Homo-oligomer: A and B are copies of this chain.
Amino acid sequence: MDGAGEAVPPQAARSLVAAGARMDRFGWVPATAGNLSQRLADGRIAITRSGVHKGFLTEADIIAVDAAGTPLRAGDKASAETLLHCQVYRRVPDAGAVLHGHSVAATVLSMTEAAPALTFSGYELLKAFAGQTTHATTLALPMVANDQDMPRLAAVLEPFFTAGMPLGYVIRGHGVYVWGPDMPTALARLEGLEFLLACALERRRLR
């Protein structure tokens, strides 16, 4: 492949660096957790490399992979979870950015609730999600078991994409995946989802 195909446009790299810093501010990317990606105009995917802290990214930490998740430059190492990002881009044609973070609320709720999904009803914040125009609705957030085998985990997620996942999904004991047509929208949905999770956790404390 040629150099043009390998380089991540600086604007996309900066967008990912800034998103990582914001996720860090909220405590959603502890240690080297989380990963962030953005679909490029030519179909390639810009994604954070494996093993770096997402709050201290530099543009050099953003690598390009193809639609199957293979790094386009020799020596680049993608995170195993790159496959889950590629799945979102494949199954959601208008997805332009995917964010994966680890919050205390998502981790604790997904490890203590046996139900297959968390449901949210009556929150104004539900309007932050695609196609929602009223709080008077109920949306479900599917929760799937964690698995270090990414193809197997992706296979478990496939039917949920068919059914539609307006809020994204949660991997139990691990974290959330959200997406949007562009990075600002993906970040807004992540904030909206974490707000809903914080409310759900708080309500369980009051029980």
A residues neighboring B (CB under 8 Å): 26-27, 30-33, 53, 102, 104, 107-108, 111-112, 122-125, 128, 133-136, 146, 148, 171-175, 184, 187-189, 191-192, 194-195, 198-199, 201-206
Contact = CB atoms under 8 A, between A and B. Distances in A.
A102 B125 contact: yes
A156 to B, nearest CB: 15
Counting from the closest, the 7 A-B pairs by CB-CB distance are: A124-B174, A31-B192, A31-B128, A30-B191, A31-B188, A30-B195, A108-B202
Copies of this chain, how many?
Answer: 4
Contacts of A174: 123-124, 135
A87 to B, nearest CB: 18
A178 B180 CA distance: 32
A122 to B, nearest CB: 5
Given A206-B112, A206-B205, A173 B124 contact: yes
A34 B125 CA distance: 10
25 contacts: A30-B125, A30-B192, A31-B189, A31-B195, A32-B128, A33-B125, A33-B128, A53-B188, A102-B125, A107-B125, A111-B122, A111-B123, A111-B203, A112-B203, A112-B206, A122-B146, A122-B172, A124-B171, A124-B173, A124-B175, A135-B148, A135-B173, A135-B174, A136-B148, A205-B205
